[in-house]
Amino acid sequence: RSLGFTQRVLKANKLYTSDVPVAILKVNALRVECNVTTGAYINERKVHTIHEFFPVVPPGYKIIEVPSHVIYLPIATKTIDHLQLRIVDQDGDLVNFQGEVITIRLHVRSMR
């Protein structure tokens, strides 16, 4: 779909309204996912999201994000032998950072 229109021929010099809303911004949210966490939900579905935010800079610019409210999630394993972090968009698609270096700092604490 281009500009919200389904595929069809439109007459010139006539006003048309799109069939569906136009997705001007491809990325509405960035989610950081971690494979060893549990306890997070999106729309009642279990997910591994540890942080979510809306990028405040245009595409191609450096993103600096500092969480304002830190939430600690349980780790689902006693031993971490493999840790995978992924940055995905609101649809769960991997974000392509075009080879740029990405730095993510995790804070892990023991249960009290």
The 10s digit of each residue's pLDDT in 42-83 is: 999 999 999 999 999 988 889 999 999 999 999 999 999 999
- Plot region of 35 (φ>0 → left; ψ -120 to 50 → alpha; else → beta): alpha
Q: Is the pLDDT of residue 1 over 70?
A: no
- At 25 the pLDDT is 66
Q: Which residues contact 70 (CB under 8 A, 6 or more apart)?
A: 107
> What tokens does 53 get?
């935010």
From the number of C-beta atoms within 10 Å of its C-beta (0-12, 13-18, 19+), residue 31 rates as: buried
> What tokens does 43 get?
């729309």
Provide the whole-model pTM. Answer: 0.76
